[in-house]
Structure 1
C-alpha cells in the first residue's frame, strides 16, 4: 500500500485537487443557474433540467481531466473509442431533432423573455399562433389557445421563428416581469 502511495503520489494529489476544483465549480455554477432561474422567475422544473445538463458537463470534464492526470493512453483505447463514437454519431444523427430541441431549451432558459403564463404570438406564415404558455420542457412548449386547444411547439422552432410577447405574466406584487 505504501508503495502505491509513493509511486502515484503526484497523480493522487492532482486528482484530489481536480475533484475539489470540480466540486467548487459545480457549487458555483449551480448557484448562478438557480439565481438566474429565481431572478427570471422560471419554473423549478426548467431550472432543475439545466442543472442536470450542467452536472453532466462537469462530470465529463472531470473524466477527461482525470484521464489526463493518470496518463491514460488513448492510443490503446483508439479502436474502442472510435467504435463508441461511430455508434453515438449514428444515434445522434438519427436523433438530431431531439438534440436541437434540448439545445434550444437551454438557450431559451437563459435568453428568452417569456415564461409560463405569458401570452405569445409566433410569427409563422404557415401556422401563425397566439396562445398562452402552459409549460416549457426540454423539448417543447405547451401552448393553450383561446379555443382551449393544446399545442406542442418544438423549442428549436422558437429560435427560428419570430416570437412576440403579447401579455407578460404579472408577478404577485403587481409588477411586470420579463
Structure 2
C-alpha cells in the first residue's frame, strides 16, 4: 500500500488535532475569564477545566476512530460494551457522578462562594458553617466550633442554603 492513499486521513487527523487543541485552549480561557469575573478561586477553575479536557479528549478519540474508518459495526459493539460496563459501574457509583455534576453546576451558577458563612436547611442535621473550599466531589465547611465537615455537592443542590454572611462582610468576627 502506498502512503499517498493515507494522506486524506492524515490531513483530517491533523485538522482534528488542531481543532481539539484550539477548542481546549479557547475553552480554558473562557472558563478562566468566567472564573475571574465571578470571583471564583483558582483551584475550582482547574478542576472544571480538567473535566472539560477529559470530555474533549473523549470526543477527539471518537473523531479519530471515525476518520480512520474503524468498522462501524465493530466500533458500535465495542462502544456499547464499554458504555454498558461504565453504566453498571456508574450506577453502582451514581453518587460520584452526581457529585461531579453538582460541582460543575455550583461552579457556573455560584449561588455561594468560598468564604461565605451558610446555613444548610436540613431538618435532621442543620449545619451553620463557613465554606473553606469547593472541590469536584464535596464542599469543605468549618463550623463555629472549628469542626471540618466535608459535605457532598449533590446534597448542597438538594438542600436549601441560607447565606448568613459572605466574604464582603466581616465573617471572621462571627467565627
Query: Shared topology, TM-score over 0.5?
Result: yes
**What is the CA-CA distance between 1:48 and the residue it aligns to?**
0.7
Equivalent position of 1:175 in the other structure: none
Partner of residue 16, structure 1: 14
1:75 partnered with 2:65: no
Alignment root-mean-square deviation, CA:
1.8
Q: CA deviation at 1:97?
A: 0.5
* Counterparts of 1:76 and 1:132, CA distance in 2: 52
Question: In structure 1, how many angstroms separate the alpha carbons of the residues matched to 2:76 and 2:10?
Answer: 25
Give the aligned length. Answer: 169
- Shift, 1:64, TM fit: 1.2
Q: In the alignment, does 2:37 pair up with 1:39? A: yes
Report the secondary structure of 2:31's partner residue: helix
**Which runs of 5 or more residues in structure 2 are unaligned?**
170-175
Residue equivalent to 2:24 = 26
Q: Which among 91, 99, 102 is matched to residue 100 of structure 2? A: 102
Q: CA deviation at 1:66?
A: 1.4
Deviation at 1:60, TM superposition (A): 0.8
SS of the counterpart of 1:84? helix
Tell me, in whole angstroms, the C-alpha distance in 2 between the residues paired with 1:53 and 1:147: 34
Q: Give CA-to-partner distance per residue, 1:54-110, whole Å, 9 cap, x none.
A: 110111111111111222113124544343333222211111001100110011011
- TM-score (norm: length of structure 1): 0.87
1:87 aligns with 2:85: yes
Shift of 1:53: 0.5
Moved over 6 A (4+): none
